Amino acid sequence: MSNFYRLLTLLFFVTLPFSVFSQAKADTTATAQKTDSINTVNIKEYKTRLTTLEKQRIADSIKKAGLEAQLQSLKTTDNLKKEQLQKELENLNSRDSARLAEKKARIDSLRATSKGYPVHGFFNDTLFTIYSKLGSFSAKDRAEAISERIHNLGEKYTFTADSLKVQDSDATTDVTDGESIIISISDNDALWNNTNRQALAKKYQQLIGTAVMHYKDETSFITLAKEIGLAILVILVLVFIIRYSNRLFRWTAVKIQQQKGKRLKGITIKNYNLFDADQQIRVLLIANTLVKWLVILLLVYIALPILFGIFPWTQNFAEALFSYILTPVRKIAVGLWHYLPNFITIIVIVFVFRYVLKFARFLKNEIERGDLHITGFYPDWASPTYQIVRVLIIAFMLIVIFPYLPGSDSPVFKGVSVFLGFLFTFGSMGSLSNIVAGIVLTYMRLFKLNDRVKIGDVSGDVIEKSLLVTRIRTIKNEIISIPNSTVMNSHTINYSSDTFTKGLIIHTTVTIGYDVPWKDVHAALIEAANRTDLLVKEHAPFVLQTSLEDFYVAYQINAYTREANKQATIYSQLHQNIQDTFNEAGIEILSPHYRAARDGNHTTIPTSYLDKDYKAPPFNFKQD
């Protein structure tokens, strides 16, 4: 199965250059057609003017030939007529020079915008370029015809470089092979190349001869045999390297498995087991396999350009394969080099803001410890204020860094930034209200951690304060999360804020009938408070008579404590002590709806508190 996957990989990389090359060729053809159209439009005017100049040149040549014939027929004594004819000849020569200069000037102006048609050699290389037409042949037709003739020379077994000859004619200079004309060079061709016809013809003669002989050398049996042998050698070396690379990675896989329990004992980060030994080995084996395939693919990718470079027909593929890696690497390197000044600027900005944050943290620590006092600024404000300042400093740093980021001026980058801002703004409207409320609560100092509070109908200890919610643990260990906006809109009772300085007053109410003296009730309540453990002794408890009802009096016992978080325990013990002290004093708690009909009824006080000789009173009847 592994060999099958290797074969697929090789086929993929072999066919990839061909597909890419075909696509590139199609794109190049489309571009060339567009450029050819532009070239045709650009030189249309030049061709029209060239035709006019050529007609003038032919007419002037005929006239010049007639004038030269008249000069030869004149007698030596006819000097006046001779001077007149000589002047006309000079005018014709100057007009011919002016036409030549105009041609050259027009060609120079068209050279930057016009595109020539390449004459191709044997391995898709360009030998030279044709810019002008000749007779009824356009520049494109001439280039295709010349390319075909050169290819035919490559198939000619008896061809040698000396077979090409240069021959002059009236209008052109020809490069020939025997009776066959390979290329005809006109004055316009010479003007396009800034030379004369004879020099250009000799240059083309040398280029064509060298290309044909190189093709014959490259396609000879001996050369092909050497190239095939070299290709086989490259394939054998590649197979050898891949085979031993597989052995190497199999060896590393065995070594990894052998390290279980030795060097590979898992990864633990601050008491968190990120990987156990088996998971760590599994991850390393996967990484070993990935590295193996990356190495194999890299070896194949390196070998393919070498193979393609051996044969002249596929050398372009080799260059293309290398360019797929070298071009991006070069672009990345150039981009990094140009971005280096901005990167250094970002490093300096981050360095400066880092020390600004350190200074802000130093001030926060000093205020929290109490070493630095600022009038009107409380120590518990230091940490939240530091967090707010820290966010503002980081936000300002990002604003300063933003212009130096790569692509920050790109419309796409700006569009994504606007979209994210829009999404964040409208997606977090409720959260923003809670955040604002959380900041306000911090500076209102309504409560702090571990305070016993009552928010709305929820009572408990504050265990967490965040920008979004406040979490409270009730006396039943229930965790209740209250949004900060709800806290802002509710009334809050803090039982712990003044507990350590003034104390928290614990109070409870009992109702006793009018038949019991109030002094006895006060004494019993105060004694119950004094027996309660978590009530302070330095502040004496006191009793308030809060109301006089129809059947009873309401007595409220008030006592001080510094344990606001233990109110349930204090109240429970206080109620127990009230029952004990009232029973000891012989006071019955008959409230709130208890009728005291004593005749014939046993007292409600427990028997252990009664005298041994206690008896229930008899029923009293009164009969008239």
Report residue 118 as tokens.
Answer: 């390449």
Looking at the DSSP assignment, which residues form a beta bridge with residue 479?
Answer: 473
Higher pLDDT, 172 or 614: 172
CA 263 to chain centre: 36
Find the mean pLDDT for residues 224-237.
Answer: 86
Report residue 392 as tokens.
Answer: 């503002």
CB 499 within 8 A of CB 447: no
Is residue 547 very low, low, confident or very high in pLDDT (cuts 50, 70, 90)?
very high
CA 310 to chain centre: 42
Domain boundaries, the chain: 2-111, 117-219, 222-310, 351-431, 443-494, 504-609
Q: Where are the beta strands (DSSP E) in 478-616?
A: 479-483, 492-494, 504-513, 542-548, 552-561
What does the alpha-carbon distance between residue 526 and residue 530 come to, in Å, rounded to a whole number? 6
Helix/strand/coil for 382: helix
Report residue 148 as tokens.
Answer: 């075909």
Is residue 51 very low, low, confident or very high in pLDDT (cuts 50, 70, 90)?
low
CB 119 within 8 A of CB 151: no
CB 492 within 8 A of CB 453: yes
Candidates 492, 489, 507; CA nearest to 558 is: 507
pLDDT reported for residue 575: 95
Contacts of 566 (CB under 8 A, 6+ apart): 534
Contacts of 253 (CB under 8 A, 6+ apart): 285, 288, 289
Report in angstroms the alpha-carbon separations of 391 from 378, 384, 394, 444, 470.
Answer: 21, 11, 5, 21, 21
**Looking at this protein, which amino acid is placed at residue 299?**
L
Is residue 478 very low, low, confident or very high in pLDDT (cuts 50, 70, 90)?
very high
What does the alpha-carbon distance between residue 113 and residue 5 come to, in Å, rounded to a whole number? 51
pLDDT reported for residue 10: 40
Q: Is the pLDDT of residue 227 over 90?
A: no
User: Lowest mean pLDDT: which of 43-52, 191-200, 372-381, 418-427?
Assistant: 43-52
CATH 3.30.70.100 fits 504-609, yes or no: yes
Candidates 516, 513, 503; CA nearest to 542 is: 503
CB 490 within 8 A of CB 547: no
Is residue 544 very low, low, confident or very high in pLDDT (cuts 50, 70, 90)?
very high
Candidates 24, 12, 27, 11; CA nearest to 320 is: 24
Report in angstroms the alpha-carbon separations of 334 from 201, 322, 342, 386, 407.
Answer: 43, 18, 14, 42, 15
Report in angstroms the alpha-carbon separations of 427 from 59, 148, 313, 439.
Answer: 86, 69, 61, 20
CB 152 within 8 A of CB 163: no
- Computed over every residue of the chain, the mean pLDDT equals 79
pTM above threshold 0.85: no
What does the alpha-carbon distance between residue 394 and residue 50 come to, in Å, rounded to a whole number? 71
For residue 273, give the H/E element and its range: strand 272-275
- Structure confidence by residue, pLDDT tens digits, 256-293: 888 877 777 777 776 767 777 788 888 889 999 999 99
Candidates 158, 162, 165; CA nearest to 216 is: 158
Report residue 156 as tokens.
Answer: 């000619």
CB 185 within 8 A of CB 201: yes
Q: Is the pLDDT of residue 527 over 90?
A: yes
What does the alpha-carbon distance between residue 220 and residue 227 come to, in Å, rounded to a whole number? 11
Q: Beta strands 504-513 and 542-548: pairing type?
A: unpaired
Find the mean pLDDT for residues 78-82.
Answer: 69
Is residue 62 very low, low, confident or very high in pLDDT (cuts 50, 70, 90)?
confident
Higher pLDDT, 70 or 185: 185
Report residue 436 as tokens.
Answer: 């604002």
Tell me the fold of 443-494. Answer: SH3 type barrels. (2.30.30)
Contacts of 513 (CB under 8 A, 6+ apart): 551, 552, 553, 588, 590, 591, 596
Candidates 309, 146, 312; CA nearest to 220 is: 312
- Structure confidence by residue, pLDDT tens digits, 343-388: 999 999 999 999 999 999 998 888 888 888 888 777 877 887 888 8
The residue with tokens 């329990």 is: 261
What does the alpha-carbon distance between residue 569 and residue 533 come to, in Å, rounded to a whole number? 10
Q: Which residues of 582-603 are buried (b: 16+ CB within 10 A; e: fewer)?
A: bbeeebbbbbeeeeeeeeeeee
